[in-house]
Amino acid sequence: MKKIFSLFLTIVFALAVHAQVNQLKPQPRLSKITEKAVVGNNDPIVFTTEINPTTASDRAADVVIGETWYDLQSNSSMSQRFWVFDDGTMGATWTRGMNATAYADRGTGYNYYDGTSWSPWPTERVEDVRTGWPSYAPYGVNGEIICSHTFTDAGLVFSWRENKGEGDWNYFNFVGPTGHEGIA
């Protein structure tokens, strides 16, 4: 027992002595502070290069195709809002609303890319009634269709036309099943 206790005390003493190693004094990082003139508030700042230039990209620049003030675009859903057709044309939709607060003008914003350029920004909604959260898809051989929620007993409103990007829109409504009309 005395041998084990003596061995234990020796180890504890050795560890305590080893823990007493002096720390090295840190060397200063700056040996001398120098004063330099600062550009004054009235001095212009001259940029010699373009700010944040793109060096290389395989993607086209962003293009704004429409506008809205209505900021609840998803309504917790993932609608099909954009379609690229086989011929390189594209159609895009979004919930458009420009009159804030109640957004009485809310409806589908739509724009079409003809393979060369986008159409001018829309100035009104596609439908003639208040809608929201459109879904967009091809229709028939060369047409397009949009399905939107109407917030009324009229159900869903479908806007379609035979030729994508041109012509007047046609409309029909789809009401939910009996007893569940509000489902749309």
Question: Tokens 């890319």 sit at which residue?
Answer: 113
At 137 the pLDDT is 96
At 44 the pLDDT is 67
Count other Cβ atoms within 10 Å, centred on residue 159. 25
Who wins on pLDDT, 26 or 114?
A: 114
Kindly give the pairing relationship between strand 143-149 and strand 132-139: antiparallel
What is the DSSP secondary structure assignment for residue 150, as one 8-state letter? Answer: -
What is the DSSP secondary structure assignment for residue 141, as one 8-state letter? Answer: T
Give the mean model confidence (pLDDT) for residues 75-100: 89
Q: List C-alpha distances in Å: 55 to 27, 46, 48, 52, 59.
A: 42, 22, 16, 9, 12
Q: What are the strands of the beta sheet with 132-139, ordered from one edge? A: 132-139, 143-149, 156-161, 170-174
Give the Cα separation of 73 and 41 in Å (integer). 43
Q: Is the pLDDT of residue 113 over 70?
A: yes
At 142 the pLDDT is 95
At 92 the pLDDT is 95
Mean pLDDT of the residues in the chain: 83
**Geometric angle at alpha carbon 105, from 162 and 102, rounded to 5°:** 145
Q: Is the pLDDT of residue 55 over 60?
A: yes
First to last CA, the chain: 87
Contact 145, 152 (CB under 8 A): no
Q: Is the pLDDT of residue 144 over 80?
A: yes
Segment among 19-23, 72-76, 116-120, 173-177 with least mean pLDDT = 19-23
